[in-house]
Amino acid sequence: MFSENTKPVDVASASLIANTGAQEGVQTHGFYTVDCVDAQGNVKWSDTIKNLVVTVGKDFMLTQTFSGAGYTAAWFLALVDGASSPTYNAADTMASHVGWSEFATYSNATRPAPSFNAASAGAMATTPTSFNINGTGTVAGAFLTTNNVVSGTTGTLFSAGNFTGGSRSVASGDTLNVTYTLTLT
């Protein structure tokens, strides 16, 4: 005769995996918004430019922010010439940027200085900065630098980028209004 026996057993287990340190990363994202307005005040075109924040720009931001010394940079916006197909490299500087050149067909005596608004929620933007176009040409994009001299090659290049829709035509009497926005995520 066979007999069957059962012994019910309950087993419970738990485990905990905990991250013992907080970790946060920061990414820099910038973009330019450009509106082209004709002499009668009509918007001819608008575009948004995603930019490349170049290595010297990142280094400048980190050094000036975390070096412990009080510092305020003067920033200037400028335009990229669209006569060719501009390309950008993280190694670009104001003295050496072989993939692009500056568009300087405007009547402003210097590269215009944007006015930055206070940072909020990890973002900062400029008020629109105007370029008074005084000839016919093609603009491919914009850049941000610490040098106000039109076509100058000194100072620190922060970022540069092309229009998303390709190069755009401008004519004498047009005004390009450029806004730069920088976010940290």
Count Cβ atoms within 10 A of the Cβ of residue 180 and give its class: 0-12 exposed, 13-18 middle, 19 or more buried.
buried
What whole-number distance in Å separates Cα of residue 105 and Cα of residue 38? 15
Residue 30 or residue 103, greater confidence: 103
Q: Is the per-residue pLDDT at 1 higher than 60? A: no
User: Rounded mean pLDDT of 90-100?
Assistant: 95
Q: In the chain, what are the domain boundaries?
A: 28-184
Contact 178, 128 (CB under 8 A): yes
Of the pLDDT bands very low, low, confident and very high (cuts 50, 70, 90), residue 22 is low
How far apart are alpha carbons 54 and 158 in whole angstroms? Answer: 6
Q: For 59-94, write each residue's pLDDT tens digit.
A: 888 887 777 666 677 999 999 999 888 999 999 999
What is the reported pLDDT for 62? 81
Whether 106 shows a pLDDT value over 90: the answer reads yes
